[in-house]
Structure 1
Amino acid sequence: MPTKEKIENAIAFLWDDLCKLQDPFYIIGSSALVLAGIPLEATDDIDLLTSHRDADFLKEHWQLHKVEAYTPKDSDKFRSNFGRFRWNIVLVEVMGDLEVFHKGEWQKLQIEEYFEVEINQSSARVPVLKEQERIFRLFGRAKDLAKADLITKHIIQP
């Protein structure tokens, strides 16, 4: 099954729970790239950017699927109400009110522009490609900068 279809199926699987969130949420990271039309061979997980309270809700609601003893990589660069969850078909990382340490200060990640992807008669928010490029550059790790460059190439030569 192609990566995009896997992501869409995973989101559809989670959709009943995601509909219970009180605030807007966004799919970010590699899954967002794929949903925006950038082909990737594979993605490790689905990254959900949520509010702090919605992250708390998911952490409680998905307790049975929690990945125990999980500590996010680069914790000196990112802080959030993190949670990581695994089902047979999907690995999900929840980031409530994600902040990024950039240029000597903590900055809350805000999504300025997004589009909605239709999945099983529902829709999920995904940052537009220019927004995703900005986010990857803000994150600043080598793997993020490579994804930002991939977006730049795609925009210049679709």
Structure 2
Amino acid sequence: MRGAAPVVLPEALHETLAAAAGIMAVAREPWWVIASAAIALHGGRVSDVADVDILASVADARRVARQLGLELRAPAPHPRFRSEVYLSWGGAPLPVEFMAGFAVRSGDAWREIVPATRQVVRVGGVALPVPEREELRAIVESFGRAKDLRRADLLPRD
């Protein structure tokens, strides 16, 4: 995103991302903002960011749980998604969901989502790591739902 216009985000999203980045200071391994918040960080005009999704390692998710006093739990079963660890935190304007061991079902197989790329987007002095644009597009498209396919189309193209 070198040379790209500064990213301008709605206040609630900006505050939530800043809070999430502060929490992730305990991380010892790479982590990423994914899904609709990451699309917005790439400059996509997402009008309905309802939460912030953070993808982290299992060890870092455990650190976050201890820091926030949250119970480690697996989310309710879903036919398309699963996580080894799932945490939901409501201490920011938008909910923050921390996921570790996150996998997407593709046919009869589960594919763990571990981005191969990581680029940092700075917003108001806050460093926010996201997968590079095309990898993010592929990740969001792999979710397979109509809303995700629409959101993937909001990512700017080169």
TM-score using structure 2 length: 0.81
Shift of residue 90, structure 1, vs aligned partner: 2.7
Q: 1:155 aligns with which of 150, 154, 157?
A: 157
Tell me: CA distance 1:15–1:146, structure 2 relative to 1, closer, same or farther (3 Å).
closer
Gapped regions of structure 2 (runs ≥ 5): 1-7
State the distance in 1 between where 2:75 and 2:45 align: 29
CA contact (8 A) 1:3 1:34 kept: yes
Cα separation, partners in 2 of 1:76 and 1:22, compared to 1, 3 Å = same
Match of 1:106 among 84, 103, 110: 110
- Quote how far apart the aligned CAs of 1:96 are: 0.6
Provide the aligned length of Structure 1 versus Structure 2: 149
Aligned residue among 65, 72, 82 for 1:59: 65
Which residues of structure 1 form unaligned runs of 5+?
A: none
CA distance in 1, matches of 2:31, 2:37: 14
Separation (CA, whole Å) in 1 of partners of 2:74 and 2:116: 29
Structure 1 vs Structure 2 CA RMSD: 2.4
Which structure is higher in strand share?
A: 1
Cα deviation, residue 46, structure 1 = 0.5
Which residue identity does 1:97 align to in structure 2?
Answer: G
| Corresponding residue SS for 1:34 | helix
Displacement of 1:92 in angstroms is: 0.3
SS for the counterpart of 2:153 is helix
**In structure 1, how many angstroms separate the alpha carbons of the residues matched to 2:122 and 2:153?**
27
Aligned partners of 2:90, 2:74: CA distance in 1, in Å? 12
Partner of residue 20, structure 2: 14
Q: CA deviation at 1:10?
A: 1.9
Structure-2 residue corresponding to 1:140: 144
Residue 82 of structure 2 is aligned to residue 79 of structure 1: yes
AA aligned to 2:82 is R
Aligned partners of 1:4 and 1:127: how far apart in 2?
Answer: 21
Match of 2:44 in 1: 38
Percent of matched pairs sharing the same residue: 26
Residue type of the alignment partner of 1:79:
R
Q: Could you tell me the TM-score, scaled by structure 1's length?
A: 0.81
1:116 corresponds to: 120
Of the structure 1 ranges 140-149 and 21-30, higher mean CA displacement relative to structure 2 is found in 140-149
